[in-house]
Structure 1
Amino acid sequence: MTIWKNRALLGVALAAGLAAPAVAEDWSPSQYGPEDEIGAANLLTPDLVLQAAKLVRTGKTYPLAVRVDKDLPAFRHRSFRLYNIQPGQQAGRTTGPNKFTFNDEMVVVWTGVGTQLNGIGHIGIDNVYYNGNKAADFVTVEGVKKLGIEKVPPIVTRGVVLDMTAHYGKPIVPEGTVFTVADIEAVLKKQGIAIRKGDVVLFNTGWLELIGKDDKRFLEGEPGIGMEAAKWLADKGIVAFGGDTWASEAYPGESGDEFPVNQFMLARHGIYNLELIDSRALVRDKAWEFLFVLGQPLYTGSTQVNVNPVAIR
């Protein structure tokens, strides 16, 4: 796919009878400048944090991650393996007169297993990523040289959760269900909240209820936002979107394309994706808005990482 750098080139193509490309407008450089590497995280100002902190009334905290083990279903090729090792302690050996012993763990894991932060270097369009960065220029087998997860500041802001199970009247929203702008507005009205600039927006669909019960169904599809809602959310100026599914968009989607919402949000707008967020306790408590806190591991060169965000209300 060619990235058309301006509308003049597109006009020439159309005049010549060529088909319009899938991406028909310039989406780089970023609004934050041609050298920017953190996208919507630029919105995370001290003032925004102070405003979000005012949401804390009870001090109750909610861990938003799922537990990770070798049996957790994961996207396609991904897996998790943990090994406990006791170096130098074979045959019951100890160290020192105090008989010191210890456990160490080695984890062999894809960073996209379990609850995760997908950075803006994770998803591209024909090998072009956020801010026009070409894969050939920054992607290596030892990690990315730009757009790495280590560049992302702590994400501390207002979070909101939208309960789509109540909206659709189903404990598990069916796979392929596309959330429209009208759906989102209806839930916002019912919950008495609005989406603001700098927010993290999460969707509760009941999809986590399938884990351990129907892992095959869990991985073959999911409900989520479509392109109309993605554009609407991007226009709102959110920092991140996500929820309790593994891709945070309807799958199979409306067009048959492969994860177009992720392309639109991450590559074109620098908006982060938070996957497999466990929002069930928030929904039970009707905690529709809260202080969202995330400090991710700084794996240099990684484009995604396992996380345990915390909601505080």
Structure 2
Amino acid sequence: MRFSIGAAALMLGSLALAQSNWYPGKWGPTDEIGSANYLKPELVQQAAKLVTGGKVYSLGISVNTTTPAFPPRTCSLYIVQPGQTGSAAGLGPTHTTYNDDILNCWTGIGTQIDGLGHIGVGDLYYNGNKWGEFATMGGLKKLGVEKIPPIVTRGVLLDMAAHLNTDVVKEGTAFNQAEIEAVAKKQGVEIRQGDVVIFHTGWLSLIDKDPKRFGSVEPGLGREGARYLVSKGVVAVGADTWGLEVIPFEKDGDKDGGVFGVHQILLPMSGTYILENINTAELAKDKAYEFLFVLGQNKYEGAVQSMINPIAIR
């Protein structure tokens, strides 16, 4: 069956209208930070008590021109020596030389945080903001990543690879409430309000060995699992995969389940942040299931996403 653009737009509009009970959000119609409202000084104090040995984990990956990413995202770096290329004379009597760099890059590549202006339902985004009223080529007028406060709270790692007794969880494997509760129980951890929950699947190990497979399918969070984590009041959900949610996407019975439905549940419908391409290997190796999570993203004003290097400390 073929649809015109107008028919598709009408269908999207009807979907947004049918699901309009998700806005305005629980923090009021002018809120722009969503689940970051859960962050409180007492959560920082409690999470800090998890630091007993002082080991620091970098959860970010390095980015280069071949880093797999959702098409058409790419990244290039240019090193320049402004006004003095090839010259040893430099500046002033000290002959000072310097290199600068230019990053020509999509911000949604590598380890990243998805802001609340990233995904919509039709033309409606978090808190019912209409795309045409806040999204411009010069940047978002609302929901930009610069609005996200520093995220310092308890982090929880759910090692799905260990739970399923495999090094790399098979693509298409969905994590829903039953699976989440089972691995949390096995690890002896409780998911609490204000947490950042991160899945380890081993998928990131494919980024160099099999980049085509890595960037086309993945295991990940299912729709029911997303709603469950939202009900627990988590601040963000992440994984060592490029898109967090299970791909191929879950079906709705015997029907097509839609495209990036988990993203819709988390971002526009609940204001819950998404963390992608999180380097979880060392945490999993150390069985570091609880830790102090620290993130201060780049404050590109009006940006949709930001490349990040979160830190875990325990």
> Would you say same fold, with TM above 0.5?
yes
Q: Are the aligned partners of 2:204 and 2:279 in contact in 1 as well (CA < 8 Å)?
A: yes
Aligned to 2:84: 89
Residues 61 and 221 from structure 1, CA distance in 2 versus in 1: closer, same or farther, beyond 3 angstroms?
same
1:203 aligns with 2:203: no
Aligned to 2:282: 281
Match of 1:120 among 102, 116, 132: 116
Residues 61 and 23 from structure 1, CA distance in 2 versus in 1: closer, same or farther, beyond 3 angstroms?
farther
- Which whole-Å CA distance do the structure 2 matches of 1:143 and 1:306 have between them? 16
Q: Are the aligned partners of 2:111 and 2:308 in contact in 1 as well (CA < 8 Å)?
A: yes
Q: Are the aligned partners of 1:3 and 1:26 in contact in 2 as well (CA < 8 Å)?
A: no
Residues 98 and 299 from structure 1, CA distance in 2 versus in 1: closer, same or farther, beyond 3 angstroms?
same
Match of 2:65 among 66, 70, 75: 70
Q: Which amino acid aligns with 1:236?
A: K
- Which whole-Å CA distance do the structure 1 matches of 2:266 and 2:51 have between them? 29
Q: How many residues are matched? A: 298
| 1:63-115 CA distance string (max 9 Å, x none) | 10001111111111000100000112233232222211111111100000100
Aligned to 1:269: 270
| 1:183-232 CA distance string (max 9 Å, x none) | 11111111111100000000000111111211110111000011111111
Cα drift, residue 22 of structure 1 = 8.4
Aligned to 2:40: 45
Give SS of 2:237's match. strand
- Which whole-Å CA distance do the structure 1 matches of 2:16 and 2:98 have between them? 59
Match of 1:161 among 157, 160, 174: 157
1:260 aligns with 2:255: no
Cα drift, residue 180 of structure 1 = 2.1
Give SS of 1:305's match. strand
Match of 1:240 among 236, 239, 250: 236
Q: Are the aligned partners of 2:16 and 2:124 in contact in 1 as well (CA < 8 Å)?
A: no
Aligned to 2:295: 294
- Which whole-Å CA distance do the structure 2 matches of 1:171 and 1:22 have between them? 43
Residues 60 and 23 from structure 1, CA distance in 2 versus in 1: closer, same or farther, beyond 3 angstroms?
farther
Q: Are the aligned partners of 2:16 and 2:122 in contact in 1 as well (CA < 8 Å)?
A: no
Aligned to 2:174: 178
Structure 1 stretches of at least 4 aligned residues deviating more than 3 Å after TM superposition: 1-4, 20-25
1:231 aligns with 2:232: no
Aligned to 2:25: 30
Point out the more displaced range, 159-168 or 93-102.
93-102
1:143 aligns with 2:139: yes
Q: Are the aligned partners of 1:155 and 1:292 in contact in 2 as well (CA < 8 Å)?
A: yes
1:188 aligns with 2:184: yes
Q: Are the aligned partners of 1:227 and 1:260 in contact in 2 as well (CA < 8 Å)?
A: yes
- Which whole-Å CA distance do the structure 2 matches of 1:147 and 1:91 have between them? 43
Q: Are the aligned partners of 1:3 and 1:24 in contact in 2 as well (CA < 8 Å)?
A: no
Q: Are the aligned partners of 2:13 and 2:123 in contact in 1 as well (CA < 8 Å)?
A: no
Q: Are the aligned partners of 2:157 and 2:197 in contact in 1 as well (CA < 8 Å)?
A: yes
Q: Are the aligned partners of 2:58 and 2:310 in contact in 1 as well (CA < 8 Å)?
A: yes
Aligned to 1:61: 56
Cα drift, residue 21 of structure 1 = 7.4
Q: Which amino acid aligns with 1:295?
A: G
Aligned to 1:216: 212
Q: What TM-score do the two structures reach when normalised by structure 1? A: 0.92
Q: Which amino acid aligns with 1:157?
A: T
| 1:136-173 CA distance string (max 9 Å, x none) | 11000011100010111000110001111111111111
